[in-house]
């Protein structure tokens, strides 16, 4: 198991590229992956990764329920940034046949749908890695409001280089580096996940209010609390 304390003491005050670079090159070379949804703000983190090391594996959860625009955007960013190792990870076919044979599980049990389409595939994809990088930020609110830049998650370390960034920081970075925007942003989407469970937020709503709208669900389940338990436990059968 990784000893987190000294890493947090040494690097916890850093963010952005200043945190990402030593994590990729010094602390976890060859033992780290970047997880990206290729969503509305993903270009910022992926641009930093491409600047530091384009060969770092980028894990993309291809749930089978994504917007076509997200898949187009993924391919555009891969080409634009020259990313060398983007791994599109799909759900296990047998698990889908058993749990979601008609593709409607999201309507009756969104936690279970997220588990079979995202949580379980990600765990397989992270096998053998000691750390992973996310693009989560505190200004997204909810459970992310007090997000640390270095976050223990069971036997791996989760690295959140943009945790302390503001929405204005993200916009400035996108503009400064001329990064392409997700096509659904123009339609009012501010947080983009699977098509059946994502809509633009209503007037005055938060950035993630369009995710699982009308339910108390706010996270897909791939992000864990510091005590090693999932924020929401997907039902299993």
Q: Is residue 234 part of a domain?
A: no
Q: Is residue 228 part of a domain?
A: no
Q: What is the pLDDT of residue 210?
A: 87
Q: Is residue 155 part of a domain?
A: yes
- 158, 231, 230: which is closest to 2 by C-alpha? 158
Domain count, the chain: 1
Burial 185-196 (b: 16+ CB within 10 A, else e): beeebbbbbbbe
Is residue 20 helix, strand or coil?
helix
Q: What is the pLDDT of residue 73?
A: 98
Contact 27, 7 (CB under 8 A): yes
Q: Is residue 103 part of a domain?
A: yes
Q: Which residues contact 59 (CB under 8 A, 6 or more apart)?
A: 33, 34, 35, 36, 87, 89, 122, 125, 126, 132
pLDDT tens for residues 123-168? 999 999 999 999 999 998 887 888 999 998 767 899 999 999 999 9
Give this prediction's pTM.
0.90
Which of 113, 114, 197, 220 is catalytic? The answer is 220
Q: Is residue 34 part of a domain?
A: yes
Domain residue limits at 149:
5-197
Q: Is residue 177 part of a domain?
A: yes
Q: What is the pLDDT of residue 159?
A: 97
Calpha distance 15→72 (Å, rounded): 29
Q: What is the pLDDT of residue 2?
A: 61
Q: What is the mean pLDDT of residues 15-22?
A: 97
Q: What is the pLDDT of residue 144?
A: 85
CATH of the domain at 117: 3.40.50.620
pLDDT tens for residues 32-57? 999 999 999 999 999 999 999 999 99
Give the pair of three-digit tokens for residue 6: 């000294």
Q: Which residues contact 126 (CB under 8 A, 6 or more apart)?
A: 33, 59, 132, 156
Calpha distance 118→91 (Å, rounded): 7
β-pair type (150-153, 156-159): antiparallel
Q: What is the mean pLDDT of residues 47-72?
A: 98
| Residue 114 a catalytic site member | no
pLDDT tens for residues 75-116? 999 999 999 999 999 999 999 999 999 999 999 999 999 999
Helix, strand and coil percent figures for the chain, each rounded to 5: 40, 10, 50
Q: Is residue 231 part of a domain?
A: no
Kindly state the helix (H) or strand (E) to which residue 88 belongs, with its residue range.
Answer: strand 86-89
Q: Is residue 188 part of a domain?
A: yes
Contact 229, 123 (CB under 8 A): no
Calpha distance 233→76 (Å, rounded): 34
- DSSP label at residue 201: P
In the sheet that holds 86-89, the strands lie side by side as: 86-89, 58-61, 32-35, 131-133, 156-159, 150-153
Q: Which residues contact 7 (CB under 8 A, 6 or more apart)?
A: 27, 150, 157
pLDDT tens for residues 189-232? 999 999 999 999 988 878 888 898 888 888 888 875 444 444 44
């Amino acid at each position: 198991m990784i000893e987190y304390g000294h890493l947090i003491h040494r690097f916890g005050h850093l963010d952005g590229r200043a945190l990402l670079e030593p994590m990729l090159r010094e602390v976890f070379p060859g033992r780290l992956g970047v997880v990206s949804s290729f969503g509305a703000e993903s270009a910022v983190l992926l641009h930093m990764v491409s600047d530091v090391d384009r060969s770092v594996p980028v894990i993309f959860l291809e749930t089978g329920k994504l917007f076509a625009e997200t898949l187009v955007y993924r391919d555009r960013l891969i080409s634009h940034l020259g990313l060398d190792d983007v791994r599109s990870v799909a759900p296990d076919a047998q698990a889908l046949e058993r749990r979601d044979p008609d593709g409607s599980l999201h309507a009756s049990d969104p936690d279970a749908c997220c588990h079979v389409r995202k949580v379980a595939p990600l765990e397989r994809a992270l096998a053998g890695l000691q750390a992973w990088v996310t693009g989560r930020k505190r200004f997204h609110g909810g459970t992310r409001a007090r997000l640390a830049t270095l976050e223990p998650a069971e036997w791996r370390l989760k690295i959140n280089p943009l945790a302390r960034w503001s929405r204005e920081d993200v916009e400035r970075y996108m503009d400064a580096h001329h990064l392409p925007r997700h096509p659904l942003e123009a339609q009012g989407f501010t947080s983009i996940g699977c098509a059946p469970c994502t809509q633009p937020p209503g007037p005055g709503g938060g950035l993630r209010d369009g995710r699982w709208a009308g339910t108390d669900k706010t996270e897909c389940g791939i992000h864990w609390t510091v005590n090693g338990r999932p924020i929401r436990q997907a039902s299993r059968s």
